[in-house]
Amino acid sequence: MTTHVLDDVLLPTMTLRESALASNAAVMQAYVDRHGLLFAPHMKTHMAPALARRQLDLGAWGVTVASVQQAVVAWRHGIHRILVANEVLDPAGLAWIAGRRAEDPDGDVLFQVDSPAGVAAAATHGPLPVLVEVGFPGGRTGVRSPEDGIALARTAHDAGLELRGVTGYEGGLPGPDKAREYVRGVLAVTEAVRPLVSAPRMLLSMGGSAWFDAVVEAVEDRPDDVDVLLRSGASLTHDDGFYAERTPFGRHPEEGRLEAAIRVWGRVTSAPEPGLVLVAVGKRDISFDEGLPVVREVRPGGTADARPVAPAPGSVTVTRLDDQHCYLRATDDAPALTPGDVVVFGISHPCTVFDKWHRVLVLADDDTVLDTIETEFR
């Protein structure tokens, strides 16, 4: 029996368009292959093992996570090549990492260090594999200068840790030019600490979802024995806001194109006065930290046979969200919106919409349900 999102599903609901997921995954893997990179997409975006698996099946090296808790989820689902893109100082977390190779000799769980305290904590658990993180002034983590990065690499090596390379994060910088300059500095640290890495190849890990083209440009002249591991996680679903404005594919359309896969569907519950419409979608259902949702479609009548109507730009605008309500401002040229109609929203910043849903529907282009995926946030 065919299930349609408008006739058979409780609203509000979050959906993913299968055709967009498939296209985005293929475009991104082709991009990293073309530029000779490795890919470990950031799983914290969605925490859905099924989505991670489809990227691994296309050739991803492994996954990136932000915490040991997230690494545990990935490991439990058979993903045993993991980069924890964060410092780990919690004794229980370090003990878990230390036990992975006993469970799977081919497993590889890496994490970052950016201080002597972090090195000392890790060293109490044996020769754990680490990357030295090099940041920038005002950034979130990482040592603040190349000299400190080189010194910390020596400290990690001398403490008996398995130094595997260097890492950084350019996404907090204001644009690709600053990002490119910063990544070149991190590459210089990578080259300087190469004698401390005993493995035949070393890693340079980089990559948010906004300036990864700057990463590619900055590492073009890297040594042959340096593998660049890109972490861009939002590329799989893309969005209609923050990343739509910043995606490298907008600056380099010849490289490919990403499509917004995420939609949140909600029903109009009230139109109490001219120009004001309330939809049963709120902060519990949709992201709002990097911009409010945008109205992509209206489905008059809100049933499967309703033909989609795309409002004229600016005619239907989200002005505010409560916990369970979305306020729309509708101009005179907006399509008529009455209780029972359905509004389909695009979102900005995928990372803060997935965590609101335990189950997400995957839709065909005719809005019938193909699959249900589960998220595992901790």
Would strands 326-330 and 276-279 be described as parallel, antiparallel, or unpaired? antiparallel
Strand partners, 309: 298
Report, as an integer, the average pLDDT of 192-202: 98
Of 200, 202, 236, 199, nearest in space to 219 by CA: 202
Report, as an integer, the average pLDDT of 41-58: 98
pLDDT of residue 207: 86
Within a domain: 30: no
- 287 and 363 share one domain: yes
- 199 and 79 share one domain: yes
Prediction pTM value = 0.97
Asked if pLDDT for residue 96 goes beyond 90, the answer is: yes
- 301 and 226 share one domain: no
Count how many domains the chain has: 2
User: Token match 């000299």: residue?
Assistant: 147
Cα(332)–Cα(274) distance, integer angstroms: 9
Within a domain: 15: no
Within a domain: 286: yes
CATH number at residue 313: 2.40.37.20
Q: Taking a C-beta distance cutoff of 8 angstroms, is the pair 166, 204 a contact?
A: yes
Q: Taking a C-beta distance cutoff of 8 angstroms, is the pair 264, 14 a contact?
A: yes
Burial 212-249 (b: 16+ CB within 10 A, else e): bbbbbbbbeeeeeebbbbbbbbbbbbbbbbbbbebbbb
Asked if pLDDT for residue 116 goes beyond 80, the answer is: yes
Q: Taking a C-beta distance cutoff of 8 angstroms, is the pair 303, 7 a contact?
A: yes
pLDDT of residue 142: 98
Tens-digit pLDDT profile for residues 54-72:
999 999 999 999 999 999 9
Asked if pLDDT for residue 337 goes beyond 90, the answer is: yes
- 221 and 266 share one domain: no
Tens-digit pLDDT profile for residues 145-178:
999 999 999 999 999 999 999 999 999 999 999 9
Tell me whether the omega of the peptide bond preceding residue 174 falls within 30 degrees of 0, making it cis: no
Tens-digit pLDDT profile for residues 283-315:
999 999 999 999 999 999 999 999 999 999 999
- 190 and 268 share one domain: no
Within a domain: 343: yes
Cα(312)–Cα(335) distance, integer angstroms: 9
CATH number at residue 180: 3.20.20.10
- 158 and 277 share one domain: no
- The overall average pLDDT reported for the chain is 97
- Residue 1 — very low, low, confident or very high, per pLDDT cuts 50/70/90? confident
Within a domain: 339: yes
pLDDT of residue 199: 97
- Residue 221 — very low, low, confident or very high, per pLDDT cuts 50/70/90? very high
Could you list the residue range(s) of the whole structural domain that residue 336 is in? 258-374
- Residue 378 — very low, low, confident or very high, per pLDDT cuts 50/70/90? confident
